Structure 1
């Protein structure tokens, strides 16, 4: 971020906070750890006003008490000398501040963060995958019916432009008898791979419901599938990942190991640098965008891949694609099909397994100002420098 463009007299004048609600396109079932996720979704949004102009963005851990210390502060003081937002302000403010800066500069965020990388004036296009394929089949006793249902769900995504699919596996870890559930995992992955076709990349995510040997059984059974990565097969363990990597190497099976979502092991990045893990997946909202710019730079230096986790936060889905301009080895946007009332993402579109990110200033996400103002007054809060000072 080029802080040279930030004028010394730009101060935070107002911070408002509201919760927006919406729904997924389809009810989301269980995964290897927990039960039904459902349809309803929420997004915590902060609207920040600086020099008479507003920016919007996802915000977590924001409270009026915390925000009161920001009101009246110079925007320049929120950044360090490298042009990175200080860590103390990131979770609460990085998205609305970046959106504000983009609007003030008349540039999309991806151009603000691209650094030395040269970008054309055309919209940024980034690979994406459909992450909506949960355990929606548990009520069906017949495996063939279960496969047909999950294929139909994948076809819904395909009709909307998706070509790559992440499939939840691990039914035998909790929700079904071990071998019956594992057999169904394998059958469903085969079925969805038929929908994706030979060019479609398949990822499987066990949410730590497998162990090492069970992972090998499943991967061996899926050797004929265009399987791109296995995610959270079991809780991170360097020795077990070393074993799995060697097993894959000996078989000549080119499947990446992905991990980092959730309660990731603290040494995961070091293990990846040592060759145990290929793809890192920390969340795009927490620890967030700025953290990912820093982490992505480190991963790029070691030839590792970045694929930020984003499930259930409709703002993060779209914002995460901008990160691809700053991280060379950015893999995919994780796409969860959600509609949030008052949040307009019509500038984005999905086509042939890619998300087209608009060149609109800021994050290119529109908000219904009147609705947000109403929600701020009804169930949110607002702090204004004129009223505080």
Structure 2
């Protein structure tokens, strides 16, 4: 993305902020770290007005005091000399500004940021996976019945077009006795792999509930499953990942190592460039889209893979697909089915394990202006130039 076409007289006229609420298609259970996630979800949304036109987007760390300083500034001055939004404004405004730019230029955001690997004029279709398979079986004492329950949840996703699945594991880390929980992890992964079939990719995510030896036990037991990556097996540790990588190599077991969600080690990228980690998973909302474009360039240069984390944020699900146009080795959109009141994502479509990104301007997410305006008046805030 560059600043070509941004006119010097375009100024920020208004910034408004509110929270939109909604819920998941199905209540989400526990994971290896914490308890039930539930069904309710919320998205913090900013609406920005520049030159009489609005743009919408996710916004974090936004306050009226911060926005007061931005009101009246030229849009051009918010960008750096590389043509990217300056870091000081990203968390609060990058998504509404990118959406605004797309609308002003009549282009989807992916068209604004696309790299040399993208074929122009071709609809954007990106692999995705169902990330909704949490510990929804802890109340079921019988392992066979628990597997059947989790298979039914995977089949719900399959019926909606999903073909690839990420499965939470690590039941023995907190919620069940160690070996009983680990045995169930293995049984559930096997059961869901049957739903996915031979072409479906399976990812497992332990949320750091395993240690190295337990990880090896699980991977050995799943050697005949189409396991694509192992995510957050344990807290990032170069020595342990080096050991695990060598163990996998000696066995000829091709499972990728993925990490980077949450409070990731500041050394993780360095370790990845040394071959300890294959897939990086920083969040799509924080540190955000522009950061990911910059990180993706670096990862691409080292042959590493990008798979932004965006669980629990209904906005992040959809914008992450646009990032694939800027990052060559983009792996998957992490998909968690959520309906947010006032946020229309019907332009997006899941089919055969892929998400089809709309060609409409901006991020292709339509907001109910009237509802958002009422929420701003009732529980949000609005600031405009005097």
**Interval containing the TM-score (normalised by the shorter chain):** over 0.9
Correspondence 1:139 to 2:139: yes
* Alpha-carbon distance in 2 for matches of 1:260, 1:362: 28
* Alpha-carbon distance in 2 for matches of 1:316, 1:150: 25
* Alpha-carbon distance in 1 for matches of 2:283, 2:65: 26
* CA deviations over 1:125-175 (Å, ceiling 9, x no partner): 000000000000000000000000000000000000000000000000000
Equivalent positions of 1:131-280 (< 5 A) are: 131-280=131-280
Structure 2 gap ranges (5+): none
SS of the equivalent of 1:13 reads strand
* Alpha-carbon distance in 2 for matches of 1:129, 1:190: 17
* CA deviations over 1:5-42 (Å, ceiling 9, x no partner): 10000000000001000000000000000000000000
Equivalent positions of 1:49-60 (< 5 A) are: 49-60=49-60
SS of the equivalent of 1:325 reads coil
The change in CA–CA distance for 1:68 and 1:365 in structure 2 (over 3 A counts) is same
Aligned 8 A contact 1:248 1:254 in 2: yes
The change in CA–CA distance for 1:118 and 1:137 in structure 2 (over 3 A counts) is closer
* Alpha-carbon distance in 1 for matches of 2:378, 2:201: 45
Equivalent positions of 1:369-388 (< 5 A) are: 369-386=369-386
Structure 1 gap ranges (5+): none
Residue matched to 1:99 = 99
Give the paired residue count.
386
* Alpha-carbon distance in 2 for matches of 1:354, 1:70: 38
Runs of 4+ residues over 2 Å off in structure 1: 115-123
* CA deviations over 1:224-243 (Å, ceiling 9, x no partner): 10000000000000000000
* Alpha-carbon distance in 2 for matches of 1:117, 1:385: 41
* Alpha-carbon distance in 1 for matches of 2:115, 2:168: 36
Using structure 1 for the length normalisation, give the TM-score: 0.99
SS of the equivalent of 1:25 reads strand
Report the CA distance between 1:120 and its aligned residue: 3.1
Report the CA distance between 1:4 and its aligned residue: 1.6
Aligned 8 A contact 2:118 2:325 in 1: no
Q: What RMSD in Å do the two structures reach over aligned CA positions?
A: 0.6
